Amino acid sequence: MTVAHHPQPETLMAYAAGTLDQAYTVVIATHLAMCGACRGEVAHLEDVGGAILEKEAEAKIGADALDRLLSALDGSPEEEPRPAPIKRHEGVPSPLAPYLKGGLESIEWKRKGPKAWLAELEVPANSHSRLVLLKVGAGAAMPEHGHGGHELTLILSGAYNDRFGRFAAGDLADHDDDVDHQPIAEEGEDCICLVALDAPLAFKSRLMRVLQPLTGL
């Protein structure tokens, strides 16, 4: 699988540090199961974090400690062996399997438009974000929209195109409230996405803003 779109560096850093909210953690973990490059990057970030903590724990740090630390960590993660792919269960990457006991075929979709369906996945009650599955019918377009907060969208199957390019299985769109776009699902196959978000979408159309409570987004 060739993955063309990845999380922003700060998102991967937050994941490695364990500071992402639950829904975002699930999306990133599922992306890592599909993307060897990001698995390697996270492993590298975890090594860096561990080395820094180890240095901070020392009672005395020499003047050249930082230089020695950076030298020890120098080098691109791509030069190191990448962790093995994470196994799949019920046809989905293992980080997502606990949320889909019967795989993608078990999803109880709720129709939210002529060619749009949504399924809410359960996250802890104290979570500040939502985790949903979104299915857009082949050839259908999402309404043009921005984002009220931080949104991660991971393609599980099918593909869509927007002004940022083509997003297929394994690709991840990492958007904040500065982004406006209109994803259009490719012909031939429905596009199924795993989405984490912490605020409603900002639809551009007045009609869509009126109908927004019905969309679930």
pLDDT single digits (tens) 162-202? 999 999 999 999 998 778 888 999 999 999 999 999 887 77
Mean pLDDT, to the nearest integer, of 130-158?
Answer: 91
Count the alpha carbons within 13 Å of 13 in the hemisphere toward its beta carbon.
Answer: 5
pLDDT of res. 86: 54
Q: Which CATH superfamily is domain 108-215 in?
A: Jelly Rolls (2.60.120.10)
| pLDDT tens track for 5-64 | 999 999 999 999 999 999 999 999 999 999 999 999 999 888 775 555 555 555 455 556
Domain boundaries, the chain: 9-89, 108-215
DSSP string, 180-210: EE--EEPTTS-EEEEEEESS-EEESSHHHHH
- Closest by CA to 42, choosing from 1, 90, 9, 5, is 9
pLDDT of res. 15: 94
Mean pLDDT of the chain: 82
pLDDT of res. 56: 55
Most confident among 25-29, 45-49, 144-148, 208-212 (mean pLDDT): 25-29
Confidence of residue 65 (pLDDT cuts 50, 70, 90): low
Q: What is the pTM assigned to this prediction?
A: 0.79
> Distance between CA atoms of 156 and 99, rounded to whole angstroms?
14
CATH 1.20.1070 fits domain 9-89: no
The H or E element spanning position 16 is helix 9-17
